[in-house]
Amino acid sequence: MAAQPALDRPPAHDLRKARRAGVTAFVGTTVEWFDFYIYGTASALVLGKVFFPEASSAVGTLAAFGTFWVGFLARPLGGIVFGHLGDRYGRKSALIATLSLMGVATFCIGLLPGYASWGVAAPVVLILLRMVQGVAVGGEWGGAVLIATEYAPPGKKLLYGAFAQQGSPVGNLLATLAFLAIAQLPDAAFESWGWRLPFLASALLVGVGMFIRLRLDETPEMARLLESKKTSRVPLLQLLQQYPLVVALGVCAGTAGVAITYVKTTFALSWATTDLGFTRSSFLTVITIALVIQVVVQPFGAVLGERLDLRRAVLIMLLPELVLLPLMFVLISTGSFWLAVLGMGLATAPHAMYYAAMAGMLARVYPVEIRYTGLSVTYQLCTTIFAGTAPFVAQYLLNATGSIWSVVVLGLVYVGITLAAVLALISRTVWRDGKESVPTPVEERVS
């Protein structure tokens, strides 16, 4: 039997680079998600009062969640722009740009005067800065996943993709801890200047992330593509012409992995502190404990996906959510701190484990020359349609029906959409000798 070509079998020193790439992806996404998540927490607690003070409490919160969604509306644009740059000129340069853009926008939000000082200009500028955040994170996620997965040893893409995914719960945890600390301030101090501190402090994290990111080389697969000069001229056009159904399935397949997080944290934080009598500090502590649980259990989703048939692994990860998500809301509604912790902790595990496996799964369904664009557009459309709207729709349903069960149904719909789409997507991925290949392009299937 012929020996495996050296090109397909990385030498030992490449494994060291692969681990470094995984750490780089983790640190970079942690910084980006910290910046993005502090806005979500602030929108639940204070932005309505600072930038929409003339509205009622419920309407002000709804307006703040609307600005929260604006960041998600901008994310597909970031995926397209930076996906194009990443597919044409390399992953590293695109990721340096996204981190810089996110850092500037977040710092400026921390300095932005409120409605009392600037009038209507304040929420307008807030929306613009949130859009810049959205563009930045829209280009960040796909590149970070590719840094990890394109350095990964053969058969380890799901596992290495989980490095990038860990940045989300860790960034969320750091954001929650930051607000938990400043939530101890008196209300007047919290609403006037305290909430700004996490936004301003993000500049330090961006500096750390930039230092680490600048030290990493271009990924091996992209370096070979650049050397061969076979990059796609217009990656987005090739993606939409050849893989439209894969994009549609991928968008729906990511739903539970991203939308339920915002139902559990951003919406639930507002609901618990507004309607159930929880204090800011107590429910932020509930979320903090749930995020610690997520950090611990999330990587096991990638391990499960590597070791089991992927269809079976997905069912094991997601089916429990159909029971645990309703249970979470029941336990939170008791007003008991420890029952809320139990509910949030149990409901965290299923979608967190799925989120870990999701990155590597989506990364493998596109060829290298359009992979950054394909991965970014797929994921960011999912976040725009499902994740960004989740707190807004959940709050609207609660306002309209007066019942939390309408929100429970929304969460179960997210799980159902995900299950149907991911099983269909897996069936379109061809497996031969333990190696995956991308789905056949449209024109080849038709012919």
Domain-wise residue ranges, the chain: 15-217+234-446
Q: What is the pLDDT of residues 25-74, one digit of tens each?
A: 999 899 888 988 898 888 878 888 888 887 666 666 667 777 777 877 88
* Radius of gyration for the chain, computed over Cα atoms and rounded to the nearest angstrom: 21
Instruction: Name beta bridge partners: 431.
Output: 436
- Whole-number pLDDT of residue 441: 54
Tokens of residue 49, six digits: 């009062």
Reported confidence tier of residue 431, pLDDT bands at 50, 70, 90: very low
Residue 245 scores a pLDDT above 90: yes
Pairing of strands 435-437, 430-432: antiparallel
Residue 10 scores a pLDDT above 70: no
Which of 30, 130, 93 shows the shortest CA–CA distance to 372?
93
Residue with tokens 């995984």: 22
Residue 244 scores a pLDDT above 60: yes
Residue with tokens 């050397």: 227
- Whole-number pLDDT of residue 88: 93
The CA-atom distances, in angstroms, between 361 and each of 23, 75, 395, 416 are 19, 20, 32, 18
Cα gap 419→252, rounded to integer Å: 9
Q: What is the mean pLDDT of residues 172-184?
A: 89
Q: Name the architecture of domain 15-217+234-446.
A: Up-down Bundle (1.20)
Tokens of residue 310, six digits: 């992927």
The answer to whether the beta carbons of residues 57 and 45 sit under 8 Å apart is: no
Which of 136, 157, 138 shows the shortest CA–CA distance to 146?
157
pTM of the entire structure? Answer: 0.82
Residue 436 scores a pLDDT above 50: no
Residue 438 scores a pLDDT above 60: no
CA 99 to chain centre: 15
Tokens of residue 156, six digits: 């380890």
| pLDDT mean across residues, the chain | 87
Q: What is the pLDDT of residues 358-370, one digit of tens each?
A: 988 888 889 999 9
Residue with tokens 């983790």: 26
- Whole-number pLDDT of residue 229: 86
Cα gap 393→25, rounded to integer Å: 32
* Interior angle at CA 287, CA 282 and CA 289, nearest 5: 95
- Whole-number pLDDT of residue 57: 66
- Whole-number pLDDT of residue 262: 85
